[in-house]
Every structure is written in C-alpha cells, then in structure tokens.
C-alpha cells in the first residue's frame, strides 16, 4: 500500500542542505579553484550542445558557399583582387618600415619584436548572461590553445582565453567588468590600465592624472606590460576626456576597436612562449 505521507527530510530541510552544498561549491570553485577537474569533465559532456547550436550556421555557410551565382562570384573576385592590390602596396611599405625598425633596434641594442603566429577560430556561443562578457570558440587544447592567450579580430584586441577544453575554449572579453588590460597611447606612449565596465561600447582608463596629455580620438594600444598581451595591438579609441578640478584623476572613456558584438571569426595569437616565460626585458619589447 502506498504510504500516506512521504518519508524523508522535509522540503525546506532538503533545500537548506542543497543550498549550503551549493555555497560551498561556489567558494571552492571561485575562491579556491579546487573544482577545475570536475568542471573540465562536465564541460566535455556539454560540448556537443555547442555543436548542435552551431549546426544551422554551418549548413547555411556551406549552402552560401555552394550556391553562388556567377555574377556574384565575378564581382567578389574583382573586389578581392582590388583589395589584394591595395594590401600588397601597403605591405611593401611595411617591409621597408620593418627593416628600418630592425636597424634602429640594432642601433639601440634591443632585441627584435617578437612576431606571433595567427590562427583563425570560430565563435560558437556567447555567454547568455550580460554580466559575464565571455564567448566560446571552437578551438581547444587539441589546436594548441593555452590559458591567457590573446584573442583578436580584424580590427583590434578582443580578450583572452580563460578556460581551455579539448575541443573548445572560453575567452573573456576586454569589456567584462572583471577584466583590465595595460595599454599605452599610440601618439605619445603614456601608459595606463584600461578596465572593462560590463558594457560593450565603453571602457575606462584608470588613475590617469588630470594633467596627462590624452585627447579624444587617441588610439590606445596594448603595452605588453603585465606580460599577458603582446605589445602594439590596437585596443580602443578615446571617446571622452573629462577633467574635474575637484578630483585628482581625469575620467577617460574609450570605445573598443574590435567589434566585440559582431565578429564571428576571431584570431588566436600564438606569441612565442618565451615572451611570457622569460624575464621582464623580453616582455617589455
């Protein structure tokens, strides 16, 4: 016969126990970092989800590539050819500049700029929570992705890798409220730290004295300090400079140059690992 009352602890006792376990889990995960193996095992289980969600995009892309009209192809070809011509002309100048740069560096007795290898990856998911600006990309440790790797798009720096699984990885964007990146002003080399505000179109420069020479429209590039991001990649453009005589620091806002909300393809920068591991001399170049 079926019992009239269900046995076992009461509903709210169970809720209390599970709530306390959850709080312990949060602290163990976020503060202590004890649960990394568990998270990586669970992530491996959920990774097919991203593939399922990405499937329509893959199909439509394949369809778009397969079924293209002749005139469209011809038009694309022409515009691409023109673009190649323009880029070639520009890269000719770049070669000269690079050679000149190397000479000057030799004169200054400093080591050569480290060049990084780039690899294209595809964005397969973005965090469903506006408070966490993270994206999931379809390259993982199988492709050589590593923690702290810089992620770029065609127009600037996007963020860095914070979680690596075998077939995908998660990157935090520079606009996340918990992210900050050391930058310098391209025009005059003034250094500062650029912090995310949890908004896609606005970043903030920290602790800039009111008298510093920073103007609206200045380009901020990564400074390479902190030895996390390579030097010299565009990060943001200054959009407003407000100096209040009552405050010791100027309030300076900037807009990311990368299209954080639009890029579907991102670039992973494989910097020579020695930059990250060796002493400060190399990292600062």
Partner 1 sequence: MVSISVPNSSIYLSFILAYVLTVIPVSWPVATYMPSWVFITSLFWAIFFPHKHGVGMAWFAGLWLDVVMGYPLGVNAFSMAISIALAIFIGPRFRIYSVGLQTWMVFVLAAVCQLLIFWAKNIFSVPASGLSSLWGAVTSALVWPLIYAYLRVVARIFHLI
Residues found near partner 1 in the complex (CB under 8 A): 2, 6, 11-12, 14-15, 18-19, 21-31, 35, 38-39, 42-43, 46, 49-50, 52-53, 123-134, 136, 163, 170, 177-178, 198, 200, 261
CA–CA dist 230, 270 (Å, integer): 10
- Phi, psi values for residue 61, rounded to 5°: -65, -45
**Which CB atom, from 146 or from 270, has the smaller least distance to partner 1?**
146
CB of 73 to partner 1, least distance (A): 29
Distance from chain centroid for Cα 28: 26
Min separation Cβ 15 and partner 1, Å: 3
Nearest to 174 by CA among 207, 147, 151, 140: 151
Give the nearer residue to partner 1 in terms of CB position, either 56 or 217. 56
Type and span of the H or E element at 134: strand 134-137
d(C-alpha 98, C-alpha 104), whole Å:
10
Query: What backbone phi and psi angles, to 5 degrees, belong to 6?
Result: -75, 140
Nearer to partner 1, 12 or 70 (CB): 12
- Indicate the residue among 111 and 178 with the shorter CB distance to partner 1: 178
**Closest CB 10 distance from partner 1, rounded Å:** 10
207 vs 248: CA distance, rounded Å: 9
**Closer CB to partner 1, residue 122 or residue 282?**
122
Q: What is the 3-state secondary structure (H, E, C) of 261-272?
A: CCCCEEEEEECC
At its nearest, how many Å lie between partner 1 and the CB of residue 275?
27
- Kindly state the smallest distance separating residue 64's Cβ from partner 1, in Å: 18
């Amino acid at each position: 016969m079926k019992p009239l009352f269900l046995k076992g602890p009461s509903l709210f006792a169970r809720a209390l126990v599970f709530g306390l376990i959850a709080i312990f889990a949060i602290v163990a995960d976020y503060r202590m970092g004890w649960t990394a193996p568990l998270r990586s095992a669970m992530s491996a289980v959920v990774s097919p989800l991203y593939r399922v969600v990405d499937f329509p995009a893959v199909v439509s892309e394949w369809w778009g590539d397969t079924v293209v009209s002749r005139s469209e192809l011809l038009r694309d070809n022409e515009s691409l050819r023109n673009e190649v011509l323009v880029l070639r002309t520009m890269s000719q100048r770049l070669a000269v500049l690079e050679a000149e740069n190397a000479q000057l560096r030799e004169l200054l007795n400093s080591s050569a700029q480290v060049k990084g290898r780039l690899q294209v990856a595809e964005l397969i998911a973005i965090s469903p929570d506006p408070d966490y600006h993270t994206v999931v990309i379809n390259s993982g440790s199988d492709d050589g992705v590593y923690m702290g790797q810089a992620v770029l798009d065609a127009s600037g720096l996007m963020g860095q890798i914070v979680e690596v699984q075998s077939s995908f990885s998660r990157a935090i964007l520079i606009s996340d409220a918990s992210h900050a990146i050391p930058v310098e002003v391209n025009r005059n080399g003034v250094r500062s730290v650029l912090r995310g505000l949890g908004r896609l179109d606005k970043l903030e420069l920290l602790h800039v004295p009111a008298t510093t020479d920073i103007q609206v429209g200045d380009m901020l590039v990564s400074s390479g300090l902190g030895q996390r991001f390579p030097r010299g990649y565009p990060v943001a453009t200054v959009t407003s400079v407000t100096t209040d005589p009552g405050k010791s620091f100027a309030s300076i806002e900037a807009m990311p140059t990368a299209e954080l909300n639009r890029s579907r393809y991102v670039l992973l920068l494989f910097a020579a690992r020695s930059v990250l591991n060796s002493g400060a001399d190399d990292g600062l170049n």
